[in-house]
């Protein structure tokens, strides 16, 4: 695959391809995946989607979300530049309405103005230029088309202590992310075991005794599997490019692209937002 898209980091793509190859999502229970899917798609207007709808999964990885979307729609493009698309082809081999595109979200063969919807989860914040990456996706939407994106939040709803701990964690990320893939993958596994797992168990105990754990570190993971913890540890600490935006910054960015009727999730993962492309909006 030749990547001609300037808004793509070859090393980041290669690392994510390696990650998804190691963390085979077929080893995660369907119940766990369904639970996470429901959180991301909590505000998605399924009533506006039907068996004639055409959509895209931008940055599809190994197709873990597409397996829940494809049966509901007429046609689904899976856009993924890394070798993770090979796993997606296996996972979705029975979905005959899926078209696999080993390309980036800014350099693919989907026609402008052709999609009824798209979703892009956990991808934009790893691009060299997230805003232009999103704009390239928006161009593919028809007027009134629906989008769902998940973009790392800048902890705008967290306490000062929480933010201070995050700054320390970010320094750890910067120390790890430029290491060779085999080394950083093993370091992330160790971080998952000695930090993520204990903190999640503390949160579980706190919830069991009736405490409010909403502001506890890693409280969002109390009902997630160990495999999910491993995957997200790699996502958090092994990636060289990471952008974060506040809710207000995302609102401005989306509205400037002609996206209206914004609806943010009021729970983790932050920030998930659904919107609609305004009629007669020229997003070029």
pLDDT of residue 2: 42
pLDDT of residue 22: 67
How buried is residue 180: exposed, middle or buried, by Cβ count under 10 Å (0-12/13-18/19+)?
exposed
Joined tokens for residue 80: 């993924």
Joined tokens for residue 200: 């999640």
Q: Where are the domains of the chain?
A: 10-154+244-277, 160-237
In DSSP terms, 117 is beta-bridged to 55, 146
Joined tokens for residue 195: 């930090």
pLDDT of residue 263: 97
What is the DSSP secondary-structure string of the chain? -----SS--HHHHHHHHHHHHHS-GGGS-HHHHHHHHHHHTTT--GGG--TT-EEEEET-TTSTTHHHHGGGSSEEEEE--STHHHHHHHHTTT-TTEEEE-SBTTBSSPPTT-EEEEEEES-GGGSSSHHHHHHHHHHTEEEEEEEEEE--B-STTS-HHHHHHHHHHHHHHHHHTTS-HHHHHHHHHHHIIIIIHHHHHHHHHHHHTT---TTSTTGGGTTS-HHHHHHHHHHHHS-S----B-HHHHHHHHHHTTEEEEEE-SSSSSPEEEEEEPTT----
Cα separation, 33 vs 107, in Å, equals 29
Decide if 155 contacts 167 (C-beta within 8 A).
no
Decide if 79 contacts 101 (C-beta within 8 A).
yes
Cα separation, 134 vs 131, in Å, equals 5
pLDDT of residue 282: 56
The model's pTM: 0.91
CATH topology of domain 10-154+244-277: Rossmann fold (3.40.50)
pLDDT values of the chain reduced to their tens digit, one per residue, 284 residues:
344 577 778 888 887 777 766 666 666 778 888 989 999 999 999 999 999 999 999 999 989 999 999 999 999 999 999 988 998 999 999 999 999 999 999 999 999 999 999 999 999 999 999 999 999 999 999 999 999 999 999 998 888 998 999 999 999 999 999 998 889 989 999 999 999 999 999 999 999 999 999 888 898 899 888 888 888 898 889 889 999 999 999 999 999 999 999 999 998 889 999 999 998 765 44
């Amino acid at each position: 695959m030749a990547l001609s898209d300037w808004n793509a980091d070859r090393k980041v793509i290669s690392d994510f391809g390696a990650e998804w190859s190691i963390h085979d999502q077929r080893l995660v229970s369907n119940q766990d995946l369904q639970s996470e899917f429901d959180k991301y798609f909590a505000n998605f207007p399924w009533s506006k989607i039907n068996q004639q709808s055409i959509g895209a999964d931008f940055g599809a990885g190994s197709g873990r979300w597409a397996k829940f979307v494809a049966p509901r729609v007429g046609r689904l493009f899976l856009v993924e530049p890394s070798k993770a698309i090979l796993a997606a082809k296996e996972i979705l081999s029975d979905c005959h309405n899926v078209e696999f595109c080993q390309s980036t979200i800014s350099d693919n063969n989907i026609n402008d103005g052709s999609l009824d919807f798209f979703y892009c989860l956990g991808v934009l914040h790893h691009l060299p230029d997230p805003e232009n990456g999103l704009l390239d996706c928006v161009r593919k939407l028809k007027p009134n088309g629906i989008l769902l994106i998940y973009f790392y939040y800048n902890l705008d709803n967290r306490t000062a202590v929480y933010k201070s701990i995050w700054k320390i964690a970010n320094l750890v990320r910067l120390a790890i992310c430029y290491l060779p893939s085999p080394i950083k993958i093993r370091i992330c596994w160790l971080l998952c075991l000695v930090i993520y797992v204990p903190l999640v168990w503390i949160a579980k105990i706190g919830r069991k005794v009736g405490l409010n754990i909403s502001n506890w570190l890693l409280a969002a993971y109390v009902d997630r599997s160990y495999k999910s913890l491993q995957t997200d540890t790699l996502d958090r600490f092994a990636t060289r490019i990471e952008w974060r935006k506040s809710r207000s910054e995302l609102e401005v960015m989306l509205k400037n692209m002609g996206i209206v009727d914004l609806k943010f999730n009021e729970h983790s993962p932050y920030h998930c937002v659904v919107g609609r492309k305004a009629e007669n909006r020229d997003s070029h």
